[in-house]
Structure 1
Amino acid sequence: MPVMPTWVASGTFASGTGNITPGLPAGWQQADLHVMFVENWPGTAGAPESGPSAPAGWTAGSVSANAAGAGATITRLSVFYRVALFGDTDPTITDPGDHACAIIHGFRGARQSTTPHQAATSENATASTSASFPSVTTTRDDCMIVLAMSTGWDATGEIYDTDITNGALANLTERSAHQTNLGNGGGIFVATGEKATAGAVGSTTLTLTGSSSRASVTIAIDSSTEQASAEAAATVNSTANKPNPAVKARPSVIG
């Protein structure tokens, strides 16, 4: 039976106008899933190749988003992930221009595969105090839902004014919220919620402390026990279809 993945911790937030090095989550263990969110000023709204490159050993996620609009307040959110191994060290994000900021979140009990999530989507929006996250539809029970957003503020301080809400998610909790005024400035907000039953995540909303362009992603992380169950079933089916080498075929007798 699947067991809900758990959030472990977030690492040290990093920001700068050159290379940056966000910290790994406190208390991490081998086989934890590390998800890194990176915000930067993309230079041109909607430019598909305006984010940072994946650090060595990390994989670019299937979703990223550029905020709509133009000028110094647009923002890009990039996602990278890695299954933790003994000896891992803090990764370095190579300077993408102007500024960048980043944070890593750790999850335990997540599916370990080429893509350790089974649903992900992104959206972008022009400046507003009303923020929302795109919905995804899970096809399996017990998924950890990760909601991340970047903003284009050139400021420091609190990102949101009212708590994040979604009636379809249990234990919806803010996990990190940081901003920087370096370069054109920007910030990252991350929350998690639990989806015990497969289906649509639905509307997730948040009110910001000020009007900002933003880029948002929603990711559903599978349970490792769901993966183990599927692999075990595949092994059983494969074995059942193989002939037993200990049983020799008898020759046919005619007449």
Structure 2
Amino acid sequence: MRKVLDMRSDVAEKVFAGATVILPICNYLIDIVKEHHPTQKMDVFVEGVDDSKWYKKEGMSLQHPCVGLLQDANWWRKTKEMLVLENVLKSMPDVHFYWAGDGQYKEKILKVLEKFENFHWLGSLEYPDKVREYLTEIDIYAIITGMDTTPLSLKEAQLMEKPVIATDVGGNSETMKDGETGFLVKEGDGEDLIKKISLLIKDKELSAKLGKEGCNFIQQEFSMDASAKNFLRIVAPYVKDNN
């Protein structure tokens, strides 16, 4: 396995070194790539989302008020942040937390969180139909993670006009607007997470406003059209140079 990983790393280094331009999917990744290839040209490739798939569809019944998580459990650095929910669940017994997702570290999370009656594990949901029903039903979407780039579920939840809460890691801050479409919380800060959830549950008007702003934000910045236009802008000077 180590030999395979080393070979993949060598190939990646050669590709990056010989590339005309490198297109990471967020500024966070640009900073990381620059550490290894500081002289290479780079730009952000906007990873678009098809907004035609994301419309309200009833079909799932959950207990309210509720917070919905939609994330896998395949990388411990990313997944372990979910353990911050232990104190959140304890402090908010009247708020229900639903986790849709699966992965090799699932049991390590369930061992800690399933002892709370207000925590519910749904397993993997059929995409996109059951995910659409899930995002329709939840009150708040939260992505509680130790690492991410530009998570697709964060974009989709905003298209469904849900106020969002995200751990301030990786490219999450580029995939939402703190204070405008939802809230960022520091890694490991359960108390702030409690405050933000409480605020959104109590202030329905604010929740609705953030949800609508989130939908507008994703449609403007991450639509398939925006992605195509951004890509054409990036490649235009290189195409001209070759003509």
Name the TM-score, length of structure 1 as normaliser.
0.29
In terms of fraction of residues, the more helix-rich structure is 2
Name the TM-score, length of structure 2 as normaliser.
0.30
Q: With CA pairs under 8 Å and 6+ residues apart, which has the higher RCO, 1 or 2?
A: 1
In terms of fraction of residues, the more strand-rich structure is 1
Structure number, greater radius of gyration: 1
